[in-house]
Amino acid sequence: MNFYNISLLGSPLEPFTYNSLQTIGIGTRVSVNVRNRLVNGVVISKRSEPDFKTLEILEISEFTYSKKQIELAKFISTYYVCSLGEALGVMTPFSISIDSPIINNKKEEYNSKIALSKKQEDALVFLKQNPVSLLFGDTGSGKTEIYMKYFEEIISSGKRSIFLMPEISLTPQMSQRLEEHFGESVVMWHSKLTPLQKRKALQKIYNGSAKIVAGPRSTLFLPINDLGLIVVDEEHDDSYKSSSRPRYNARDIAIYMGKLYDVPVILGSATPSLNTFTKFPYYRLRGGFFNSNREFIYEKSVETLSPLILDSLKSTLETKDQAIVFLPTRANFKYLICQDCGHTTQCVFCSIGMSIHQKSHALKCHYCNYTQAIPQVCSECRSPSLVSSRLGTAEAVKVISEEFTEANIEQFDRDAITTANKLKKALKRFNSHETDILVGTQMLSKGHDYHGVTLAVVLGMDNMLNMSDYRAREKALSSLIQVSGRSGRAKNAKVLVQSFNEEFFSTYMNNYEEFLEEEKTYRQDLYPPYKKLCRILFSHKNGAKAQEQMRKMQGLLSREANIEVVGSGKCAVERIANKYRFEILLRSDKSTDLIKAISRCKVDLAEVDMDPIEFG
């Protein structure tokens, strides 16, 4: 009889011991019985016969996790403080079945149609000289051409590349560019693929015909042998950070994988994060392929579609040009507030104001998706004087459509763009001039190539700038640069920014490097990249229990050396999905000190978020 330690996939539990008459390889996916349920697990190690009774392994699959996948999972489990089963749960195993053997890639020579400029050639040489490097290139400076040239060389050497993009919003146009050049060698991987599309994509990955695998953060964990290069595009983007366990950051995992697999890692961005800018050597690629100019106009105003904005939109439509309108808020309005008593209509399950969706005649919570009818009177004082605040995308579309009845206005956010196909069609309509004005959220800035935009309207910058987040300045400036960079690609353009902070934005709009250098002085001795932060969350339907657990862990942590308890208490959003939430924020010089302290002091309800990016 053989005895094995089995890590249960996706489970927070520690490994269990099972037995089998068969000899099973380390990393094999198996099925076992856990409380009368069939559960998938991974063989982690062989062990001697224990002094307790064990159950038998029920099924041995054709799937296996490689040594490097297990090593990576162990790192994720340790650094992000989760179970090994949860870390392995994000990975896709290799297949050892006969009908999809892993083929050693044969070398292919590319008759390249990509001609790089002298600057781009220099950038590529620089990137090859460093194990991890930052390609700090302005919007439109040709970063993608450099990536593609490097992909060609990797394919020619018989190896494969991973190309990470922030989320699905980048895939249609990028996939078209990659597929036009590399044809069937490209596999796009994202959450919106159908089960059949996923099976076909995995088959190409297994049999070695997929030379470039592109997609959002989950792409990192696909079963790719012969890895030769990892590219993380738009490395500053927050969507690389997972908001559920394991709470990993794909950019940082890519850097770790570079060491583990001994392959170069390229981090690319027009607005790199201060962490990346400070830690890694960078090549500054200035300018772009567009000779047009952008004129910035600042309007001191709260978030509203002012006469100046409407006049500018009118002029753009009269010249048969196109415009984009950026707002950070979805729906019609962010909040419904009583003018008489000041009460905000909140979600019954979350301590957050609900957003107004007039199309569905409903208030909706963007945290737990609870929906209710729009009330006619205040629930507190019964006053009918309800007003809405914080303009959203749906309301902007409504107002602009009523103002310009002949124009085609389209909403471009997660409410309207729910599938990859809808995204593809919306971009196609805009680029073929069927749509005149595109109104959207952050999705607008995600690297899409808009050819005819001569006006970019940007609202809500001051809200971003005033967030309770140490990265608020970085995020607001980065968003403005990214959104404005979508305009003026074919002709001169105007960028109309509603903000009371013109001095800040205008100082750094064309000099992000100078901003990063100055930002270093604000962060020194307080925040990353000079300090490590960790946020510990406690949530429970019984608020007293969550608070008690927070206080218990805080007491234990206060005795630990080399770490600082920055603060503790209720979360900014105290209740989500009917659970009360409390938090502790920790700071230290080294992540190892944080990890050791947390492992010694962790209590039952503690949810650990290492290197947090969410403080709201």
What pLDDT is recorded for position 157? 94
Best CA proximity match to 83, nearest among 34, 53, 42: 42
Predicted local distance difference test score (pLDDT) of residue 615: 74
E-strand ranges in 318-359 read 322-326, 333-338, 355-357
In terms of average pLDDT, the best of 282-296, 365-379, 536-550 is: 536-550
Nearest Cα to 378, choosing from 346, 334, 355? 346
- Token pair 């029920």: residue: 58
Residue type, 149: K
> Which structural domains are found in the chain, ordered by start?
2-95 (3.40.1440.60), 118-285 (3.40.50.300), 294-514 (3.40.50.300), 532-610 (3.30.70.560)
Distance CA 231, CA 273 (A): 16
- Gap between the Cα atoms of 93 and 98, Å rounded: 15
Dist CA 40 CA 27 (whole Å): 12
Nearest to 377 by CA among 327, 411, 343: 343
**pLDDT tens-digit profile of 112-127?**
788 899 999 999 999 9
Please state the rounded mean pLDDT for residues 448-473: 86
Omega cis (within 30) before 246: yes
Asked whether 236 and 102 are in contact (CB, 8 A), the reply is no
pLDDT of residue 84: 97
pLDDT at residue 233 greater than cutoff 80: yes
Residue 20: alpha-carbon gap to chain centroid: 42
Q: How confident is the model at residue 371 (pLDDT cuts 50, 70, 90)?
A: confident
User: For 349-374, what is the mean pLDDT?
Assistant: 75
Closest by CA position to 348, among listed 365, 332, 331: 365
Q: Which residue has the higher pLDDT, 487 or 222?
A: 222
User: CA–CA distance from 168 to each of 173, 215, 219, 439, 539 (Å)?
Assistant: 11, 7, 12, 18, 30
Question: What phi, psi does 400 have (nearest 5°)?
Answer: -65, -40
Q: Using one digit for the tens of pLDDT, what is the confidence trace for 477-510? A: 999 998 998 887 778 899 999 999 999 999 999 8
Q: In which residue are the tokens 């539990």 written?
A: 13
Which tokens go with 447?
């690297």
Distances (CA, A) of 414 to 173, 417, 429, 493: 18, 5, 17, 27
Which of the four pLDDT bands, split at 50, 70 and 90, describes residue 388?
low
Which of 138-142, 438-442, 540-544 shows the highest mean pLDDT?
Answer: 540-544
- Tell me whether the omega of the peptide bond preceding residue 529 falls within 30 degrees of 0, making it cis: yes
Task: Please provide the average confidence, as pLDDT, over all residues in the chain.
Answer: 89
Render pLDDT for 470-479 as a digit per residue (tens, 0 to 9). 898 999 999 9
* Whether the predicted model's global pTM rises above the 0.85 cut: yes
